[in-house]
Structure 1
Amino acid sequence: MRQGEVAPKGAWIGDPQGGVKAPEPLLLPNPLTRFTRSAARLRHLSDGHPLMEWLRFMAQLSDAQHAAALALGPLAAPDAMAVERAVDARMPPLAADGHRRNPIWREGLAVLLGHLDQPAAPEPALSLMAALRQCDAGAIEAHADDFLHGEIEPQQIGATLYIAAALQVYFTLSAAALPAASLRLLPQRGLCPCCGSTPVAGVITASGTTPGTRYLYCSLCSTAWNHVRAICITCGESRSLSLKGIEGDSGAIKAEVCDACHSYAKMLYSARDMEVDPYADDLATLGLDLLVTEAGWARHAPNPLLLSA
């Protein structure tokens, strides 16, 4: 631009011949594919896996989540003014620890339990599901509050898997109903802009308009949001990061470790495997967690479906 000219007002998005196109800041989930994709990936990864039976059970759980999502159907859009107020305050509109849940989520829990309650299910699972069915609404809601606040009591641990799975369905449906154009990333870039939860893993894209972009995937509402690469998602440090992996594997899943805060997070590389799924692949790579933890790094945040493992 020459001196004296007026700066253009249009947003720069680049063009097919060159330039820069910014990645989408966040991607809202698709409830119709979120859980079926994880189920299919879990079954694929279970073949020959040391944890084959457990991964297949988790695939069944993902199928049950899909059934619950279909039963609840699309949720009504939240109040636009409430979303605007939260976004203006740089707060997540579905804050997991403060959102007033629609009681319909308990119907999703009932569908989920009904899908899993089969004669072939393990006896411990059947006993836990039977106990949950005997709980009244107040007890179920209190258990959900405890889970979302990270205050699970020892006697609650077994049933937490089903509570967490049902809440994932509800929050995924709720996030899908948000107005994407009105949302903004949070100041705390490592937290979900929709519900404020921590990510389960990150995926480095290999296709689309901005290949090489890192998206973090929410452990609760399944939203994905852009996070700059080579920066620790826990403390923001960039000079103390390195990647750790298991020698001889495909290289599709690495642990990004930070020597500043001694934490790690899993990163999945689509260029190595186009079928990676942050939820399924995280569960199937517990061996990597074990190796990295034994070497002195702590996971940035737990996977909610592993709290009862």
Structure 2
Amino acid sequence: MRQAEAPPTGKWTGPNHAGVKAVEPIQLPDPARRFAATAQRLEQLAEGHPMEAWLRFMAMLSRAQHDVATTLAPAASLGDASVSQAVEGRLPPLAADGHERDASWRDGLAMLLDQIGRHELPPEAHDAIEQLRRSDAAAREKLADQFLRGGLSAGDAAAAVYVAAALQVYFTGSAARLKAADLRLLEERGLCPCCGSPSVDGLITATGTTPGTRFLYCSLCSTAWNHVRAVCITCGGSRRLSLQGIEGDAGVVKAETCGECHTYAKLLYQVKDTKVDPYADDLASLGLDILVAEAGYARHAPNPLLLVGDGEAVEE
């Protein structure tokens, strides 16, 4: 996952004159709600979906993440001085590829594997779980580093899904312990101000003090941050942006394509469905990804839980 190079010196540069409510630039996650909401939405979206079995598996994984987040709650605790030093040094305080992880993330992985292993799974899934159970701490840390920094081998893809899920819980819990007021938006606005990871998609709000605002959602630590609309989150261009959708659907999810850098990012419209979830709806809209990819656009950044190789569905 890429890291930003230099954040701006100010914490917010949006409108702040009389009669205009400034957008809250950074919203930290709530671990007690984040994974349960995703699981509930996935179960709803799975009903009658062409990839129903796979979505139900992902819902089961999200439920396991919720159990870990609310029972074991693995997380790092950064001191004020450490956060201040990182922010002043123009770095995200929980930099995914540089943060010294607390060993509690491995405890979370062990609990996650126990939760998932109780379900009926295909042999390949059980093999991946057993591979991780037999591995030592050094091997698990190496796999985590490869996931966060790139370099995963095809043979590790199945096991890496569970590592990614455990790291999501750990980084979400760690981000929740920070104070939004202490953080700064990064200059490369498509990256998370907490951990420097790319966003999984953006949600266009329909409620709150500033409806119609775009918030990007971190693929790793679940932090949300404001990003101006009608600007490519990859290259910053605005001249050749287009919205693409699947004809005849409800219009909840669209792809914002950029003709300048030939990338795309998903946008979720809360006004079309108030129950939309950035993580669940991304997984359930893989058909849109396929169509946009066929048109020649590359995704801004992959969903970390789509490391399953061929995307083969699994049965509970």
Q: Secondary structure at the match of 2:146?
A: helix
2:58 maps to what in 1? 58
Task: Find the counterpart in structure 1 of residue 120 from structure 2.
Answer: 120
Instruction: For residue 157 of structure 1, report the CA deviation from its aligned partner.
Output: 1.1
Which aligned segments of 4 or more residues in structure 1 are displaced greater than 2 angstroms? Answer: 11-15, 71-77
* Paired residue secondary structure (1:42): helix
Identity of aligned residues (%): 60
Letter in 1 for 2:259: D
Whether 1:245 and 2:245 are equivalent positions in the alignment is yes
Rounded Cα–Cα distance in structure 1 between residues aligned with 2:294 and 2:101: 39
Query: Structure 1 residues 170, 75: CA separation in 2 closer, same or farther (over 3 Å shift)?
Result: closer
Gaps of 5+ in 2: 1-13, 312-316
Alignment of 1:196-215 (within 5 A): 196-215=196-215
What corresponds to 2:7 in structure 1?
Answer: none
Equivalent in the alignment of 1:288: 288
**Separation in 1 of the partners of 2:154 and 2:279?**
25
Residues 67-102 of structure 1 show CA distances to partners (whole Å, capped at 9, x for unaligned) of: 111222374641111100111122100000000000
How many equivalent residue pairs?
296
Structure 2 residue aligned with 1:221: 221
Aligned residue type for 2:59: A
Find the residue that maps to 2:279 and give its secondary structure.
helix
Aligned 8 A contact 2:242 2:258 in 1 = yes
CA distance in 1, matches of 2:15, 2:234: 31
Q: Which has the larger radius of gyration?
A: 1
Q: Residue 174 of structure 1 aligns to which amino acid in structure 2? A: S
Q: State the Cα deviation string for residues 181-233 of structure 1 (Å, max 9, x = none).
A: 11010011010000000000000000001111100000000000000000000
User: Partner residue of 1:92?
Assistant: 92
Note closer, same or farther for the CA distance 1:94–1:71 as it changes in structure 2 (3 Å cut): same
- Paired with 1:36 and 1:240, the residues of 2 have a C-alpha distance of 38
Deviation of the 1:174 alpha carbon: 0.3
Is the partner of 2:202 in helix, strand or coil?
strand
3-state SS of 1:306 partner: coil
SS of the equivalent of 1:203 reads strand
Whole-angstrom CA distance in 2 between matches of 1:32 and 1:229: 29
| Contact kept? 1:253, 1:269, Cα under 8 Å | yes
TM-score, scaled relative to structure 2 = 0.91
> Which residue of structure 1 aligns with residue 139 of structure 2?
139
**Which amino acid letter does the alignment assign opposite residue 227 of structure 1?**
H
Aligned-partner residue type, residue 207 of structure 1: T
RCO greater where, 1 or 2, for CA within 8 Å and sep 6 or more?
2
Tell me the SS of whatever aligns to 1:65: helix
In structure 2, distance between residues paired with 1:109 and 1:77: 18
The answer (yes or no) to whether the contact 1:65–1:169 under 8 Å persists in 2 is yes
User: Does the C-alpha gap of structure 1 residues 260 and 67 become closer, same or farther in structure 2, counting only changes over 3 Å?
Assistant: same
Aligned residue identity for 1:47:
E
Which residue in 2 is equivalent to 1:6? none
The 1:30/1:275 distance shift into structure 2, 3 A limit, reads: same
* Letter paired with 2:97: D
Q: Which runs of 5+ in 1 are unaligned?
A: 1-10
- Matches for 1:141-220 after TM superposition, within 5 Å: 141-220=141-220
Give the C-alpha shift of residue 106 in structure 1.
Answer: 0.4
- Match runs of 1:240-279 below 5 Å: 240-279=240-279
CA deviations over 1:252-306 (Å, ceiling 9, x no partner): 1000000000000000000111111010000000000000000111101110000
How far, CA to CA, are the matches of 1:25 and 1:134 in structure 2? 43
TM-score by length of 1: 0.93
SS at match of 1:278: coil
SS state at 2:225 partner = strand
How many Å apart are 1:36 and its aligned residue? 0.3
Q: Which residue of 1 aligns with 2:231?
A: 231
Q: How far apart are 1:134 and its partner, in Å?
A: 0.1
Q: Distance in 2 between matches of 1:150 and 1:277?
A: 27
Q: CA RMSD in A?
A: 1.4
Find the counterpart in structure 1 of residue 304 from structure 2. Answer: 304
Give yes or no for contact 2:42–2:59 (8 Å, CA) kept in 1: yes
Q: Is the 8 A contact 1:71 1:111 kept in 2?
A: no
Aligned residues of 1:71 and 1:108 also touching (Cα < 8 A): no
Cα separation, 2, equivalents of 1:60 and 1:14: 46
What displacement does 1:123 show? 2.0
State the alpha-carbon separation in 2 of the partners of residues 173 and 73 from structure 1. 7
Question: Aligned pair 1:44/2:44, yes or no?
Answer: yes
Judge conservation of contact 1:65–1:112 (CA < 8 Å) in 2: yes
Q: Distance in 2 between matches of 1:283 and 1:188?
A: 25
Structure 1 residues 77 and 140, CA gap change in structure 2 (3 angstroms): closer
The one-letter code matched in structure 2 to 1:158 is: A
